[in-house]
Amino acid sequence: MIKNFDEVLERVKINGIKKVAVAAAQDETVLEAIRDARKRGIADAVLVGESARIEEAAKKIDMNLKEFEIIHEPDAARASLTAVELVSTGKADMVMKGLVDTSTFLRAVLNKEKGLRTGRILSHVAVFDVPALQRIILITDAAMNIAPDLMTKKQIIENAVNVAKAIGIEMPKVAAVAAVEVVNPDMQPTLDAAALSKMNDRGQIKGCLVDGPLAIDNALSEEAARHKGIESPVAGKADIILVPNIETGNAMYKTLTYTSGAKNGGILAGAAAPVILTSRADSHESKLYSMALASLVAEAN
Ligand SMILES: CCCC(=O)SCCNC(=O)CCNC(=O)[C@H](O)C(C)(C)COP(=O)(O)OP(=O)(O)OC[C@H]1O[C@@H](n2cnc3c(N)ncnc32)[C@H](O)[C@@H]1OP(=O)(O)O
């Protein structure tokens, strides 16, 4: 089982180099990540975006663009679709979000003719290496599904379980998180969490252990779980945090990023090919980790 992102970068070395199509590549942190990924033999790239701005950004970080193919497309929506189409037509292995807002990029991924749909729910999985926890946790879904219903949450769990297995977590423990650890009929997330937990008991969700509702303290801290008298194989040891909605997940993602010194990578799971999706403000390291993660998940599936 992988314990941190150094191990992710180590493990990915045995994979072949992947071609990444970058949507709206005119961004310094994205280009730094691409340069680093190429140096490490993780990925090569086709840069789709506004060529003059790509050159300007590259100059600022002293990056030689001669080694990369550039496709000029100044419009971010069209650049996203071109990058996605490079993957759906087999000219690239994975697609990466650059300087484009998430919704625009996701609409290209979901495009009926050129996109990467599979008939399943696509969902975001953020992998965090949190120093205070000394382990990796996965948070889902902080970026795509806004207010998932019960059956969407089931698929979001299954997608995250696939990612967890790709990084060596054989039987991931999934905490279906709510504001409290008891069922409250006025709080829909507690009802969904209890149902997901029972669906797992009955074999409707396989390959993992699901428990809920759990509040985030007793999902992450054994001490907090003990204090509240919760006995569960998941409490305090959760690998996957299933959040009830995008606001909770996104706030958790950004709080961890900006206050805890956590390292992170993020991808979409459930698509026909790996999709690398980080926040535009994330660091180049986070974008590099995301590429490495995407490569590991691609090899595992
Ligand atoms: C974590 C770091 C990065 C961030 O901070 S991200 C910031 C926050 N994230 C966002 O702003 C994006 C949130 N999500 C959205 O904006 C929207 O849900 C999204 C993905 C753009 C889709 O919205 P719309 O374009 O309005 O589309 P829609 O809901 O009407 O659906 C159109 C077709 O797509 C399908 N679809 C939507 N979400 C899907 C999913 N998760 N998996 C699989 N298919 C999905 C939907 O079923 C529909 O299909 P059809 O056309 O009826 O066949």
- For the chain, what is the mean pLDDT? 96
46-73: average pLDDT: 96
Does residue 1 have a pLDDT over 90? Answer: no
Contact criterion met (CB below 8 Å) for 208 and 154? no
Does residue 3 have a pLDDT over 90? Answer: no
Residue 282 tokens, joined: 């994330």
Distance, CA 103 to ligand 1 centroid (Å)?
7
Per-residue b or e along 100-111, where b marks 16 or more CB atoms closer than 10 Å to that residue's CB: bebebbbebbeb
pLDDT > 70: what percent of the chain? 100
- Position of tokens 């149902």? 195
Distance, CA 275 to ligand 1 centroid (Å)?
14
pLDDT category, 226, cuts 50, 70, 90? very high
pTM recorded for the entire structure:
0.97
Helix (H) or strand (E) segment spanning residue 130: strand 123-130
Residue type, 6: D
Distance, CA 145 to ligand 1 centroid (Å)?
6
pLDDT, tens digit, 9 for 90 and up, residues 131-184: 999 899 999 999 999 999 999 999 999 999 999 999 999 999 999 999 999 999
Which protein residue has the closest C-alpha to ligand 1 atom 5?
A: 279
pLDDT value of residue 161: 98
| Whether ipTM exceeds 0.85 | yes
Q: Which stretch, 7-16, 45-54, 278-287, has highest mean pLDDT? A: 45-54
Distance, CA 119 to ligand 1 centroid (Å)?
13
Does residue 300 have a pLDDT over 90? Answer: no
Report the nearest atom of ligand 1 relative to the CA of 280.
Answer: 3
Report the nearest atom of ligand 1 relative to the CA of 142.
Answer: 1
Which protein residue has the closest C-alpha to ligand 1 atom 36?
A: 110
Residue 143 tokens, joined: 């970026």
Domains with residue ranges and CATH for the chain: 5-118+271-300 (3.40.50.10950), 123-260 (3.40.718.10)
pLDDT category, 49, cuts 50, 70, 90? very high
Q: In the Cβ-directed half-sphere of 46, how many Cα atoms lie within 13 Å?
A: 21
Which protein residue has the closest C-alpha to ligand 1 atom 6?
A: 143
Which protein residue has the closest C-alpha to ligand 1 atom 9?
A: 143
13-32: average pLDDT: 95
Distance, CA 144 to ligand 1 centroid (Å)?
6
Question: What gap in Å lies between CA 139 and CA 239, rounded to an integer?
Answer: 9
Pocket residues: Cβ below 6 A from ligand 1: 102-103, 106-107, 110, 121-123, 142-146, 250, 253, 266, 278-279
Does residue 2 have a pLDDT over 90? Answer: no
Residue 122 tokens, joined: 């696509």
Query: Backbone phi, then psi, for 141, in 5-degree steps?
Result: -115, 120
25-36: average pLDDT: 97
